[in-house]
Amino acid sequence: MQDRLPIGTITGPHGLQGDMRVALRHRVLLPEGTVVWIGFSPSFGREFMLKAFSLTQRYGLLHLHGVETREAAEKLREQGVFVAASLVKSQGYTTPMGMEGWSVVVAEGTVIGTVVGTEDNPAHPLLRIERPSGDELLLPYVEEFITNADAATRTLTINPPAGLLELSLPAQTIAPSKRKR
């Protein structure tokens, strides 16, 4: 059996034609005809061929050959969606581990810096971003902050909450002669 990676979990039907919402663990682009496995583990998933897959800012929309009704989609609720590990790794931006060297910009185009690595964190991975000034920023790699990942230009566009980028600026030290006594 080939290695399979989870990309998300089906949260329920979307519409009446068998489409399903997927809470994504990794933002991937899957072309029509891709083989996916649906199930509670990668070893025991049922094989399907992808009819359509698209991304929204909050989730993925999945349509599989053979799942053509809302009722059929409902039966797959809460099951995982798995794809071949080689497919995920070949895209390079589906997990933060493949993003070293990518430029990071905010939505209005200002360059924040370049991804130089990642750090594990219990809640979510952190992107280590080197700023033009030379200091480093740790940015949580969470779907809510990422508005676009462009593999062609190796650019990650983010929309972090107000104040997050400022939190990582180095603390200013006050010279001893300027401190209040």
Cα 58–chain centre separation: 10
Whole-model pTM? 0.52
Q: In the numeric block, which tokens belong to residue 83?
A: 């794809």
Return the CATH number of 4-91, one of 3.90.25.10, 2.40.30.60, 3.30.365.10, 3.40.1160.10. 2.40.30.60
Query: Is residue 181 very low, low, confident or very high in pLDDT (cuts 50, 70, 90)?
Result: low
pLDDT given at position 92: 43
115, 156 contact by CB (below 8 A) = yes
Say whether 60 sits in a helix, a strand or coil.
strand
Residue 96 clears pLDDT 90, i.e. is over it: no
155-158 sheet: strands from edge to edge: 136-140, 126-130, 111-119, 103-106, 155-158, 146-150
Write the class of the CATH domain 96-167: mainly beta
Choice among 17-21, 61-65, 112-116 with the minimum mean pLDDT: 112-116
Strands 103-106 and 80-84: unpaired
Q: What is the mean pLDDT of residues 96-119?
A: 83
**Domains in the chain: boundaries:** 4-91, 96-167
Query: Is residue 56 very low, low, confident or very high in pLDDT (cuts 50, 70, 90)?
Result: confident
